Every structure is written in C-alpha cells, then in structure tokens.
Chain A
C-alpha cells in the first residue's frame, strides 16, 4: 500500500485557492476537496488549514460568509475574490513552468561529448 504523499511546503495556499475556485466551500469541505483533487495527499494536522484560510482572507484573496452546510450546520463558506483568482492563475503558471523544468531535468540523459 502506498504511503499517502505529504503536501509540499508552500503548496497549501495554492491548493486552497484551487479548491475554492471550483465553488464556495466551508473549511471541512476545503479539506475534502483537496484530498479529492490531490488524490489523497494528507495534511498532518487538519487544523493547519485554518491559519492558511484566515491568512488568505486577510490578504484579500478569499472572502467568507456564513451559510448552512449540506447537513444543516451553520458554517463559514469561503470563496475566491478577483484578486484570489488572479493569484491562482499566476501560481498555476509558475508551477507548470517549474514542473516542466524539473521534469525535463530529471528525464535528461547523460550526453556523450
């Protein structure tokens, strides 16, 4: 059985933005969505999600609103602001550049001279 992959440091913010970009979510929903889109990558402590959520809201990338969850609980829903959407696009681009670079670096073969 595969050990679930740990999240790379610094990727949590981006994953939250991505998760929320698909529709407003409350905190636990964000966690589930991240698990889903990363195919099971884990947060060591689920609570670590909240400082990140609040930080993003503080930076104006997310905005929140109290609403009712699917099982009728009052919950705080986060959604992306315009600035958040812009940030997500930027991060996505820089990540795909980076991962392309890493992939090509790892797949390069020694060259005969």
Chain B
C-alpha cells in the first residue's frame, strides 16, 4: 500500500519526466530489437529491421496508456479533466454560478462563524497541560440538581479521600481592595489551597507556589500575583517577590508571580491561601473542588470510588449546613473543566448551531434545485455523451466534480463572510461569554468550513448526479427542451426539494418566534421598582478605615447627605449584598416556631431611604427610619414573597425571624418583590437597616458583592455620574469605585444573552425565509417556463386567465402547504430543545407556530405570484409559435 502511494506520488510530481522516460524505454526496446534482427540476418536492411521490430512491439500508444493505468495515474487525470470541464461549464453560465456560490457562501460562512463560537466556548481545551485530566467535583442530593459547592469541613473530608487524584484543591472567589498607593484598587482574588496550581499543572514564573504550611489556619498572609496585575500595577518589578503588598489594609507577602497568559478557572488578579478563609468570610458552601486524575485512572474508576466515598461522607455530614435538613442521599460527580466553564451556554449555543445547520441545508437544497433545473437543459448534452460511450459512473462523477467546485468556491467566499460575521456576532455577544476574547477563525474553523463545503458539494450534487446519469437516451435526444412533455419526474423531485426547504424554514421561524416571544415577555416583566432615571455606582468600602458598624453607618450617612445636595438628585440610598437585577448574597433564617423549616433567603443591608429611592412600594408596616439604630430593637423588613410563603395566616408585621439561628429580628414592614433575575420570580428576601448590621457579616458580603449607591435623578442619570463620583471621593478618597451605570443599562445587560440568542436566531430564520422564497420561486418560474406551450394550448382552448392563475398558484400552494405541514411537525419535535431558553411561552406555543406557518405561507404566496402573473400573460399565439 505504502509503496503504491509513494509510486503514484513520485509519478505525479514529475509527470513530464515520467512520460519522457516511458518514451525512451520503449524506443530503446525497438532499436535493440532492430539491431538483433539485422545481426541475425532476419532482416535485410536497417529499414526493414526497424519496421519489423515496431510490428513485433505492437501499439506504443496503447501500451503507454496501459502503463499509465497500471501506475494509478489515470484516475487522477480523469479527475483533473472533470474539474477542468466543470470549471468551463460554470464559467459558461455565470448567472447560475453566482447565485449558487453566494447561497453557499452565506450558508457556509454563517456556519463557520457559529462553529468558531461553539468551538471557542464549549470545545477548545483549556490552556492547562492535559486539561482533560482535571475535573471539578460536584454533588447532588436526592432530587436536587448538581451543585458544585462544599464547605471547608467537607474539603477536609475530601483531603482524606483523594485516592483517584494526583492532586486535589479547593478555591473560592472574593475581592480585595489593593491599598497602599494614592488610590486603592479593587482586585479579583481567589483563595486557593496549596495544590491548586499543581492541579492546573502551571507553576509560578517567578518565586514559588504556596507551601502546605502557609495554607494552614495560622499561616502567614501570602499572595501570588497574576502577570497582568504585576505588569499594570507594579510595573513588572522583578524584586517584588518577597516584598509586602497591602490588601484591605493588611500586609501580604508576595511569594510568586504567575506566567503571562495564565488564568485560573474563575478569573482572578491574584491568589491567596484558603485555610485562613474563615477569618474573613462565612463558612458557607463556597468551596469549589478540582482534582487532577492520577495517570491511568479512568472516569469509571472515579465513579466507583465516589460510590464508596459517598456513604462515608453522609455519615460525617448527616445534615445540611445549618443542621436542619437531613441528607438521605448524596451522589458525587466528576465534571470536566470544559463542562464547568461552558455549562450555561451549552444548550443555547448548540441550539444556534443546529439552527444554522438548517440554514446550510436549505442553501444546499436551493443549489440542488438550481442544478436540477440546469440538468434539465443539459440532459441533451449528457445524452450525447452517453451515446458516445461515456459510462454512467463517469458522468455522475463529472456532475459531482462540478458541484464540489461550486461548494469549494462557496466555502472560500464563506470564510470571508465568516470573518465578518464572527466580528458582528462577537460584537453582539454578552460580556460574560466565557473565553470570548480568544475566539478566532483558527485552523479548526478552516477545517470545519472545508469539511462543510465538501459535504455540501456531495449533498446537493447527489440528486442532480443521480438524475443526470440516469438520463434516458431515447427520451432526451427526442425531447425538445421547452416542449409540452417535460421530465415529470424531475419536476416532482424539484417540488419535493422546495417543500423540504419550506419545512426547514418553518422550524427555524417557529424557533425564532418563540425566542422573540420570550424576549418581549422579559421586556414586559415588572422588575418591582422604577427603572428610569436611576444611577447605580458600585463602591467597595472594605478598608481599614471602616472597622465598625458605626463607622460604616457614618460613612453611609455622610455620603447620602453629600449626594442629596447635588442638583437634580431626588433620593439616594446604599445597599450591601446586591443591586436589583443582579445576583446577591443570602443568609439562613429560622422562625419563632422551632419546628418550622428554616429558609435560605436573600439578604440586604440598606440605608433607610432605599425603598423610597427605588420606588418599591411598602405594602404593610413601615420602612426603616433613623430611629432604627444600633441601640434600638433589631428590626427587619421582608418582601411580599417571604411574607406570603412563611407568614400566610395573618400579616408578617410583628412576627419574628432569627438570623443565622441566633439574632432575633422583629418584622416591621412588608415591601413589594424586586427581581434578581428578570426571568425568575423574586426570591424570599430579608432587609435589615445598615445601622444594625454586624460589621463582620458586612465585610464578608463586601468580599463578594459591592455596596451600591443608588441615586434617583430628575434627568438623565448618567449626566450626574461625575458629581456622584466626586461626592464619594470627598467622603472617602480611598474607596475604590466599580461600575457606574444606569439601572436601565443593568436591565439590558441582564438580558444580553437572551438578546444575543434571539437576534441570531431571528437572523437565521430570516435567511431561511429568503432562501426558501427563492427556492419556491425558482421551482414555479421554471415550471411555468417549461409549460409555456401547454398553457398556450389551454388558453387557446378557452381557459381563462383566472384558471391559469389558479393552476400556478394552486401548485405552488400545494408544495407550500406540504412543506408547512411537515415543518410544523418537525418544529413540534425540535423546539423542545429551546425549552430552557424560553420564558412564559411553551415550546409548542400555537401562536408562535401559527406565526411561522402564516409568515412562510405569505412569503411563498408572494414568491408564486410572479410566475403566476407571467403564466397569465402567456399569449397563445406566441406560445404555439414557440415550436
């Protein structure tokens, strides 16, 4: 086999020399034979000897052909000939070629662009050595979804049960104020256990990794810096290792600097040890566990080990964190890092990928239809070639070569479109799309588009090739193109293809209408507060300067007074624990009745003006006031959801809840629900006045969530952002600022992904619609052109214009109807894959389906009108003279 490939390659790479040598070889033979004949006396003269030698040799040409064939060259030569011939045919009908190539380029380009996104987000290996061997440990309790969080104590358990892993590590994210300079800077941090970087397989470029001694509760404050922060904030100073930096006002010793380009799974600017976590942060299930599998350990072995470990785990951790809920069952899973990173985007991206594949399929069908139409006009040419002895396989190959060429030209143009499309798409993509900056048209995208083109070429080439090679000699040679008897089978095939296009388009349109319905439903959601004219400024008041609740409250009061003095400000408030429309923190609450099940509720520390500033209605009781101070009775306000769920009989006002099972709070008011996620109902929420908060808890929250200054303005909120920023600076120059945006911007950011998916899906559906319209127009126009003669006869025999109109429209609508019926069935089966992305609309929503079917019907009707109108204007005299 190998020898043969080598031999073919050698011959093909030096074709001219091969031919030359072949000539020489045979010439030498004939000359030597002539010499022998002359010498032996069998020939009298040199002339005669040569003639006889040539006769004995036989046909040189025929033998050379045989040699070429035995060398395996002829197949390649035939293909070359097919390609050249194909190119000539395509050049000869530029209109057809341009339409076909553009259609394909659109399909292949869009597919390549989406593929790049899918590959970049879901498939591309993470930049760690053998990243496929790194897994995150998740757990699920009976009947609950997979959850990745463990407590510090549960991590201790895993350290004793780490057999399948070469290294096991925990991490949890937080933020610090990097202080010490003139201004402090908010940085993202990750607390990690000592083997975290071993799990990822990356070591610091400068300095060293954390030691196990450093990662202990009494260990020193040490930090490893990311390359980016080291460069941007410390100017890449090489002597920084061993020196101290200040985080939240506390000195930390720099022990290492990570290499350029390194990033942990949760992005961070610096890393510190996890064992000291309970000094600052709560002991919730905030630990994420990752492990690098030992060499040779399979996932089945990991599962088996987890099966053994889970009952031991249950024995040690019988109840949940607060100790109120028994755990009857737990199952562990090892989730690959890629799944961890891409998890939330997998379903919608795959749905988009599937949809764009449909568009490509429609494009292929369109081109197949064009080719079929052409194969009708070419059937005489093919028949002539068959008559002259071309084999059926050879003609089929010729047609496939033509379609492959079309597809490849389409593919190249598609790559150009993909480049442009990808940029547009990334412009639309939400900011939190993982690894979006690294998405490019790389060699995988290239390979994808080549493969897609080749498959397309074969897919849309097959039907015409089969059809073309089956040409009935007698029929085709007799049949005059344009005569009444035109290939009915071909017409039927084209009709079926057009109907298939319509079916595919219906599926996409149904999907798009569902997503549009979802988006408009989300836009219509009442978030529970007044969105307009509201400015939100994130601040991180976590430094040394505010060590007590009193100091923090004082800061809040001063800041609000300053902001309220800005002209145009109507109200201002501060909240710790999460802004509306963003994820926030929660705490565990129990009730006066010890038998009542506790609740993990959202938790916010607010200044008294909060509800007034946001225009959240106070439904019962009262809002907080300045009288709710550190010295007065502890109070709380709950939202409607909490009141409804836990204080059903009689109002919540006057009842009590216990924070973390200890601090007793009296409920003094009930307020309207405010959503954290637009698509989800508001969770039960408890508010407490900032003056009564525990500074330890506040600081813990501020490690994860910023405090937000919310300002209600009389005009465009962003026009006041400078003034508000100055007010904050004057109150405390060291407090770092985060995002400054209007809540309307927060609102649209929260819908960014839904908008992304909806926009793409609608674009795809639009493309599909146009392609399907072109498809059905093509079929009808062609059929009318073919039947001009027949229509002429009908009109001559007395058929009215209306009859002709009805005949053409009737056939078009029959195809459309069949397509719509099939498409509706298909959509009914396929839209369920969108279920996760939908909001307040069912995957089988009849309105969305009706819109899809109706829209397509209308467009198809329009597309049929042009040919029908042409048919109506057929002049019987002209048509009959057409002969």
Contact = CB atoms under 8 A, between A and B. Distances in A.
B29 A28 contact: yes
B247 to A, nearest CB: 71
Contacts of B58: 44-48
B833 interface: no
B4 A76 contact: no
Instruction: For chain B, give the interface size range.
Output: 20 to 34
Interface centre among A48, A51, A71 (most CB of B within 10 A): A51
Nearest to A52: B70
Interface in B1-18: 3-4, 7-8
B187 interface: no
A51 B32 contact: no
Interface centre among B21, B67, B71 (most CB of A within 10 A): B67
Contacts of B3: 58-60, 83
B63 to A, nearest CB: 4
A97 B64 CA distance: 35
Contacts of B67: 50-51, 54
A17 B57 CA distance: 21
B28 interface: yes
Given A27-B28, A47-B63, A71 B56 contact: no
Contacts of B25: 26-27, 50, 75-76
Contacts of A58: 3-4, 7-8, 70-72
Contacts of B21: 66, 76
B33 interface: yes
Given A46-B56, A59-B4, A60-B7, A26 B28 contact: yes
Contact of A28 (B7, B33, B72): B33
Interface string A47-91: 110111011011110000010010101111000000100000000
Contacts of B56: 45-46
Given A28-B28, A54-B70, A76-B25, A71 B35 contact: yes
Nearest to A55: B70
Given A51-B66, A71-B32, A60 B59 contact: no
A72 to B, nearest CB: 11
B26 interface: yes
A45 B70 contact: no
B154 interface: no
Nearest to B53: A46
Interface centre among A47, A54, A60, A71 (most CB of B within 10 A): A47
B723 interface: no
B31 interface: yes
Nearest to A49: B29
Contacts of A60: 3-4, 7
B24 interface: yes
A83 B25 CA distance: 24
B60 interface: yes
Contacts of A57: 7
Contacts of A44: 58
Contacts of B70: 51-52, 54-55, 58
Nearest to B1: A60
Contacts of A75: 25, 28, 32
A51 to B, nearest CB: 4
Contacts of B62: 47
A62 B415 CA distance: 47
Contacts of B4: 58-60
Nearest to B56: A46
A12 to B, nearest CB: 12
A75 B29 CA distance: 9
Contacts of A73: 28, 31-32
Contacts of A27: 25-26, 28-29
B57 A45 contact: yes
Contacts of A26: 25, 28-29
A52 B33 CA distance: 19
A35 to B, nearest CB: 11
Contact of A74 (B24, B26, B69, B71): B24
9 contacts: A26-B28, A28-B28, A28-B32, A45-B57, A47-B58, A47-B63, A55-B70, A58-B70, A74-B28
Interface of A: 26-28, 31, 44-48, 50-52, 54-55, 57-60, 66, 69, 71, 73-76, 83
Given A46-B58, A54-B70, A55-B71, 9 more contacts: A26-B28, A27-B28, A45-B59, A45-B63, A46-B29, A47-B62, A54-B67, A60-B4, A60-B7
- The list of the 6 closest CB pairs from A to B, nearest first, reads A60-B3, A45-B58, A51-B66, A55-B70, A47-B63, A47-B58
